[in-house]
Amino acid sequence: MGAGRRLFTSAESANPGPFTAVDWALFCSVSTIWGASFLLIDIALDAFQPGLITFLRVAGGAAMLWLVPAARRPLAAEDRLRVVVLSVVWVAVPFTIFPVAQQWVNSALTGMLNGAMPIFAAILSAALLRRAPQPARLAGLLIGSAGVTAIAWSMTAPGASSASGVALILCATLCYAVAVTLAVPLQQRYGAVPVMARIAALAALWTAPYGLYGLGGSMFAWSALFAVLAIGVVGTGAAYWIMGTLVGRAGSVRASFITYLIPVVALALGVLLRGDRVSRLAVAGVVLATSGALLAARRER
């Protein structure tokens, strides 16, 4: 446990001060990109099997990242195992889970359930560091969690989602919580691009067999292809580059609060592009989720 605490202490050693303009730009960009990714997965599922979506998404992200010259910067041998672990828990497993789960759970609810990730990250950090969250961060965590719960509750209806799909999504968010905590020391040591390029490339290898299996039941459609390319190049390549930079600057727990804005984006896209009806409870949840994210980003004392 002592080694684990030392590992995660470095993960939370990033700047504890208030978010700068750059931090907020990174924060809002990745929240918007990932909030839209669930809608794009829904579009892709109209023609492609989940395995093919996963592989094309990961491979597209890896290709985008390796085009950046900084991706070729070498990593020390002692960090390679951590990169392999991250390729599984940050990319291969959750990216496989989401298209499978969205066969039973709609895109808006999927995005909203991602709000559980900061809860997992905060609990993990507090347990390993044996340190309670600062009052402002704890309040932001509680308020944001209440907002996400309200949004998800407003979207539930008999037959609207599957318990197994919800369980899968929560497993994926747990993977994210572990990953963002493990990633901080690497991001601070090497920068975002060299780390994420290797993680995505390895994840492409792990998901390739499932992708080949998914070819059999897939049909070609331009809309599905464009959706997957957008998820891969922008939602995986660019977004993970941005997220890695934010984690290195702000720390894992504060960076994980991007998931409180993902439900806002998912809800807005559902209303604007799919004509979803929004209840008053969902609107209240959006306000709470946004307030929680703002409060969690304040300076620690």
> Average pLDDT, stretch 219-228?
94
Q: Residue 277's pLDDT is what? A: 65
Residue 262 scores a pLDDT above 50: yes
Alpha-carbon span 49 to 216, nearest angstrom: 8
**Both tokens of residue 241?**
């580059």
Residue 14 scores a pLDDT above 60: no
Which single residue is written with the structure tokens 């961060």? 137
Which single residue is written with the structure tokens 């794009």? 40
Phi/psi region, residue 215 (left: phi>0; alpha: psi -120 to 50; beta: rest), is: alpha
* Ranges 21-30, 47-56, 90-99, 117-126: which has the least confidence: 117-126
Q: Are 105 and 170 in contact (CB under 8 A)?
A: no
Each residue's pLDDT tens digit, 162-207: 677 878 888 998 898 888 878 878 877 887 789 989 999 999 999 9
Cα-based distances in Å from 133 to 11, 27, 121: 14, 20, 11
Helices assigned H by DSSP within the chain: 2-11, 21-45, 50-66, 80-86, 93-101, 107-113, 117-129, 135-155, 163-190, 192-215, 222-230, 239-250, 252-255, 262-274, 280-296
Residue 124 scores a pLDDT above 60: yes
> Average pLDDT, stretch 125-144?
75
Alpha-carbon span 113 to 150, nearest angstrom: 11
Phi/psi region, residue 72 (left: phi>0; alpha: psi -120 to 50; beta: rest), is: alpha
For residue 256, name the pLDDT band (cuts at 50, 70, 90).
low
- The whole model's pTM is what? 0.80
Q: For residue 272, how many other CB atoms are within 10 A of its CB?
A: 9
Nearby residues of 83 by Cβ (< 8 Å), 6 or more positions away:
75, 186, 195, 198, 199, 202
Distance of CA 241 to the CA centre of its chain: 12
Distance of CA 286 to the CA centre of its chain: 18
For residue 11, name the pLDDT band (cuts at 50, 70, 90).
very low
Q: Residue 4's pLDDT is what? A: 44
Q: Residue 186's pLDDT is what? A: 86
What is the residue-averaged pLDDT of the chain? 81
Among residues 174, 180, 120, which one has the least CA distance to residue 144?
A: 120
Residue 119 scores a pLDDT above 90: no
Among residues 139, 164, 101, which one has the least CA distance to residue 298?
A: 139
> Average pLDDT, stretch 243-261?
72
> What percent of the chain lies above the pLDDT cut of 70?
81
Each residue's pLDDT tens digit, 281-301: 877 877 887 777 667 655 555
Cα-based distances in Å from 62 to 130, 161, 235: 36, 32, 11
Cα-based distances in Å from 223 to 16, 40, 41, 107, 212: 43, 9, 11, 16, 20
Domain segments of the chain: what residues?
Answer: 2-7+19-131+158-251
Q: At residue 173, what is the residue type?
A: T
For residue 3, name the pLDDT band (cuts at 50, 70, 90).
very low
For residue 161, name the pLDDT band (cuts at 50, 70, 90).
low
